[in-house]
Amino acid sequence: MSDVPSHLRYTSDHEWVLADGDSLKIGITRYAADALGDVVYVDHPAVGSSVQAGAIVGEVESTKSVGEIFSPVTGTVVETNQAVVDDPELINRDPYGEGWLFRVDTPDSPDLMDADAYTALIGQ
Amino acid sequence: MTSRHTPLHQIHEQAGASFTDFSGWSMPVRYSSDLAEHHAVRTTAGLFDLSHMAEIRVVGREAAAALDYALSGRLSVLENGEAKYSLILNDRAGIIDDLVVYCLAQDDYLIVANAGNRDEVVAELTARVDRFDASVRDDTDQTVMVAVQGPVAREVLDAAPELHPDTELSDLGYYRITSAVFRAESVDTPLWVARTGYTGEDGFELYIDKDHGAALWQALVAAGVDYDLQLCGLAARDTLRLEAGMALYGNELHPTTKPAEARLARVVDKEKDDFVGKAWLVEHPEPSTRILVGLVAEGRRAARAGYPVVDPGTMDVVGQVTSGALSPTLGYPIAMAMVERDYKDLDTELHLDVRGQMVPARVVALPFYRRRKD
């Protein structure tokens, strides 16, 4: 059973988005982290780079497979989480907290799923 | 297609396993964490359900001669209780499957083949033994196969009061098998205990009737409590076998792969009178243009099966990765790759095309990991 916190918003690519001050904080869901297995490598987008909603901006790799990170929004990357580069398993241990991936500054307010819709998507 | 379940499926569910479809079987891919399970096998011990693998018996007065003809190696030299790694080749000496052959008696052999090749191996063996006084029986559905692998694997088995091997396990050599009895609730069930494995560690593989598989599993779990025995899934098994440099059917081995290309010429006995594949090998004595190598790469991004191997000077593609992962034990990316022979020498510098990024790599000897033997 994957937990799906109700205060977050979700994409069909199994990312979560949190409106946090002036920017959006982005990570992958526990469902995605569990499906990947132990994450051993994270590749972030560059700070300052422009990202397009739906475009591939990074990767998370487990021992078994590779997962692509899609940007949920269009905007500018303002911060990446160095802690998950140093300790990728943070994504497995705390996907909604310490295991966040990057922040995007965006003028848009993206159309995302709420927890109920995402829960339905992953069939829980 | 509906996935088949092993007789231990419910136990795995109760233990919290995640499942994956593997060759038509729903198998545990992990129970807790791929890395924790991997490290357990390197440091203590891991318990695997391998009941999806095919157990095929070849029995009869001429069983040994039949296997000499059917397989690449000389199996007739096996004494009772000995095992040999072998190949079943097609007419063009391509690898139909790799398998382990156990001599249970001079007229009774147990062959363990890959799950996905079960039907083809059974059919091929049946056809090939036809000219001999021998027969083939597929015991897969009647058999539970479990493995205990790791430095304390023997201690775990010795700690199971229900398990009574006919040979002391400390005296059982590598690639040897012994009959044993599993005594639970005063009922004796015969089983086979082999000192073989696929992880690079010391370890054992046990074969028991499916109706007693769950009781055996639970007995091993109980015996392993004091030894940090971990339940392990196929994800850990794959990284363990890759570190140990062992070929996997579907990755390193295919029906188009010749034994020498996979560095398995040693398990082909060309001196034998006749065997399926021999004629082709005799007609084609020259080395193939490609060969399997081990590669270690820089950084932490692993090349995966199918990724191109590139000459860093010309940028020509000179091979393809067959298996790759960030080695949990070693901490750097490792890969096996089929490359043109000009690139096979140790320390040859190559590039791995990891989704468009060229990652420097170097040819190394296999295996990547070798356990310390005391």
The CATH number of the domain holding residue A40 is 2.40.50.100
**Inter-chain contact A41–B300, Cβ cutoff 8 Å?**
yes
Per-residue pLDDT at A108: 78
Same-domain status, B47 and B127? yes
What pLDDT, in 10s, does the model give residues B83-123? 999 999 999 999 999 999 999 999 999 999 999 999 999 99
- Do B154 and B249 belong to one domain? no
Q: Among A11-15, B176-180, B221-225, whose mean pLDDT is lowest?
A: A11-15
* pLDDT score at B72: 98
Specify if A118 maps to a domain: no
Mean per-residue pLDDT, B142-164: 98
Instruction: Provide the domain count of chain B.
Output: 2
Asked whether residue A79 is assigned to any structural domain, the reply reads yes
pLDDT surpassing 80 at residue B364? yes
Q: Does B113 lie in the same domain as B28? A: yes
Q: Which of B236, B251, B281 is the last residue before a domain boundary?
A: B236
Residue B1: pLDDT band with limits 50, 70, 90: low
Whether B300 and chain A come into contact, CB under 8 Å, resolves to yes
Enclosing domain of residue B37: 1-236
Distance, C-alpha B9 to centroid of its chain = 21
Interatomic CA distance for residues A113 and B84, integer angstroms: 57
| Residues B130 and B255 placed together within one structural domain of the fold | no
Residue B291 lies in a domain: yes
> Which of B236, B271, B295 represents a domain boundary (last residue)?
B236
Say if residue B166 is in the same domain as residue B74: yes
Confidence at residue B36, expressed as pLDDT on a 0 to 100 scale? 96
Please tell me the predicted confidence (pLDDT) of residue A65. Answer: 85
Neighbours of B205 (CB within 10 A): 24
Tell me if chain B has a CB within 8 Å of the CB of A40: yes
Residue at a domain's end among B196, B215, B236: B236
User: Residue B267: which CATH number?
Assistant: 2.40.30.110
For chain A, give the mean pLDDT.
92
Q: What is the pLDDT of residue A21?
A: 82
> Residue A2: pLDDT above 80?
no
In 3D, which of A82, A116, A88, A74 has the Cα closest to residue A28? A88
Answer whether B335's CB lies under 8 Å from B209's CB: no
Asked if the structure places residue A124 within a domain, the reply is no
Residue B374 domain flag: no
How large is the average pLDDT for residues B176-181? 98
Q: How confident is the model at residue A20 (pLDDT cuts 50, 70, 90)?
A: confident
In a domain, A119, yes or no: no
Q: Tell me what ipTM this predicted complex has.
A: 0.81
Pairing assessment for the beta strands B25-30 and B290-297 based on DSSP bridges: unpaired
Average pLDDT of the residues of chain B: 97
At B281-301, the pLDDT tens digits run 999 988 899 999 999 999 999
Q: What is the pLDDT of residue A107?
A: 85
Same domain, B221 and B297: no
Q: What residue numbers bound the domain in which A40 lies?
A: 9-111
Assigned domain for B370 exists: no
Among residues B183, B338, B129, the alpha carbon closest in space to that of B248 is found at B338
The answer to whether B25 and B7 are in contact (CB under 8 A) is no
In chain B, which residues have their Cβ closer than 8 Å to the Cβ of A64? 29, 34, 235, 238, 325
Torsions phi, psi of B279, nearest 5?
Answer: -55, -45
Predicted confidence band at A91 (pLDDT cuts at 50, 70, 90)?
A: very high
Residues B111 and B38 in one domain: yes
Q: Please check the confidence at residue A63 and state whether its pLDDT lies above 90.
A: no
pLDDT at A123 exceeding the cut of 90:
no
The verdict on residue A116 lying in a domain is no
Residues of B with Cβ-Cβ distance to A61 under 8 angstroms: 301-302, 326
In tens, the pLDDT along B6-16 reads 999 999 999 99
Residue B74 structure tokens: 């000389």
What does the pLDDT average to over B305-321?
A: 98
Residue B58 included in any domain: yes
Is B13 annotated in some ligand binding site?
Answer: no
Angle between helices B118-128 and B63-70 (to 10 degrees): 120
Q: Is residue B372 part of a domain?
A: no
For range B20-25, the mean pLDDT: 93
Does residue A1 have a pLDDT over 60?
Answer: no
How close does chain B come to A66, measured CA to CA in Å? 9
With respect to residue B82, please indicate whether it lies within any of the assigned structural domains: yes
Number of domains in chain A: 1
Q: What is the pLDDT of residue B340?
A: 98
Min Cα distance A37 → chain B (Å) is 6
Query: What confidence score (pLDDT) does residue A86 get?
Result: 94
pLDDT value at residue B374: 58
Confidence of residue B372 (pLDDT cuts 50, 70, 90): confident
